[in-house]
Structure formats: C-alpha cells, structure tokens
Structure 1
Amino acid sequence: MIVSQRLMLLQQMESKFGEQNKEKTSQIQAAETAFKRNLSLLKDIEAAEKSLQTRIHLPPPPELVSLETLYWASVEEYIPKWEQFLLGRAPYPIGVENQNEAENTIQNKAQQ
C-alpha cells in the first residue's frame, strides 16, 4: 500500500516535472522568437532613420527657394501698410485691395 502510494506520487512528480520542462522550453523558444523579431524591427527602424536623415540634409528644390524668397519679399512689402492698420492707428490699407495684381506679379516672377 505504502509502496504503491509512493510509486503514484513519484509518477505524479515526474509528470509535473516533465510539464514544467516543456513549459520552460516553450517560454524560451517564445523569448528567442521575440528577440529575433525585435532585432529585425530595430534594424528596420535604424534603416528608416538613416534614410530620413539623408533626406533632411538635402537642399530644397530651386522652385521652393524661389517661392519662399518671393513670399518673404511680399510680406516685407506689405508689412508697413498693414502694421498701422493692425495697431488700430490707420484705416484699412486701400492699396492692398488689388491682391490679384500682386498675385499675378508673384506668378510671373516664379515662372521666370
């Protein structure tokens, strides 16, 4: 009786130990798979970062530089006319109403 109970307990312990080993092996494999996946993702992120860094340092296209220059020239031209109006010291600047003319001038300069 005691021997059979001992044998049964021993078998249960061996079974439990085997299950624990299988679970541990499964966890190790999952961790290794996750590590490989994370390493691959990290490499992809580093490659994307490197690609973006090279794009950041490229000079803007000449059309954009020209447009930006024309924009700031227009802003500087109209600031004095609007400044007094925005400060409440002068009426609405009448010369600015003809905005189509200013836009045509900018477009003509951009096309040159």
Structure 2
Amino acid sequence: MMASYLAQEVQLAKRLEETLSQRSLLLQQMENNLGDREAEKTWQMQEADAAHKRNVVLLNDIEAAEKKLQAREHLLLHPNTVILQTLYWTKIEESIPKWEPFFLGRTQAPVGIRKIKQ
C-alpha cells in the first residue's frame, strides 16, 4: 500500500510540475501580450500626435491661403478696366507688324505718325 501512495505521490508531483510549467508559460505569454499591447498603444499615440500636428499645420496653411485670397479679392480689377487693358494690348499686337521695320532700322516711322521736333 505504501508503494501505491508513493506512486500516486510521484504522479501528482509530475502533474504539479507540468501544471506549474504550463502556468509559467502562460504567464510569460500574458506578459508578452501586455508588452505588445503597450508598445502598440505607444505607437498609436505617437501616430495620433503626429497626425494632429500635421492637421494643425494644414489648417494653418489653409487659413493663410484664405487670408491671401481675401486680400487679393480687394486687388482684383474692375471688369471695365480688364476690358480696356485687353483692347489696349490687342491694338499693340496689331500694330507690331507696322512698326517692326522701323524698330529694326529699315524704314521711317509708319505713315500718320508726326515726328517730334527736338
């Protein structure tokens, strides 16, 4: 009977050792998972902080662009002025062929232009 208790004691000791080994392994896995989650959380916080900083910079850029556009709005020319400028430069471009030989020194001023007395 003593041998039977000894065999049971040995068997129970082995089961206890296996159980403690499994417990130790599971505790290590839990610690690893906790460390991984903390590292992931830290990474997410850093990414969120970086995204927030980028958003602030973008918002500031948008506000600066808006202010520039509002400032330019007051500088825009009246439509009548734009029409006059367009007509003026069209007339200049039409006159260039008549004046080109004169500017190149090949002929006198085009007909209809009075010479200024010096």
TM-score range, shorter chain: 0.5 to 0.7
Q: TM-score under structure 2 normalisation?
A: 0.56
Distance 2:61 2:93 in 1: 42
Amino acid at match of 1:77: K
Superposed CA deviations along residues 71-109 of structure 1, whole A, max 9, x for unmatched, are 645422134457xxxxxxxxxx2324438xxxxxxxxxx
Structure 1 residue 14 displacement after superposition? 0.6
Structure 2, unaligned runs of 5 or more: 1-13, 105-118
Distance 1:59 1:24 in 2: 52
Q: Tell me what 2:92 maps to.
A: 78
Distance 2:60 2:40 in 1: 30
Where does 1:1-112 land on structure 2 (aligned, <5 Å)? Answer: 1-59=14-72, 72=86, 74-80=88-94, 93-97=97-101, 98=103
* Identical columns (%): 4
Query: SS where residue 71 of structure 2 aligns?
Result: coil
Distance 1:30 1:22 in 2: 12
Structure 1, unaligned runs of 5 or more: 83-92, 100-112
Q: Which has the larger radius of gyration?
A: 2
Tell me the matched-pair count. 85
Distance 1:6 1:96 in 2: 104
Which of structures 1 and 2 has the larger relative contact order (alpha carbons within 8 angstroms, sep 6+)?
Answer: 1
Ranges of 4+ aligned residues in structure 1 off by more than 3 Å: 68-74, 78-82
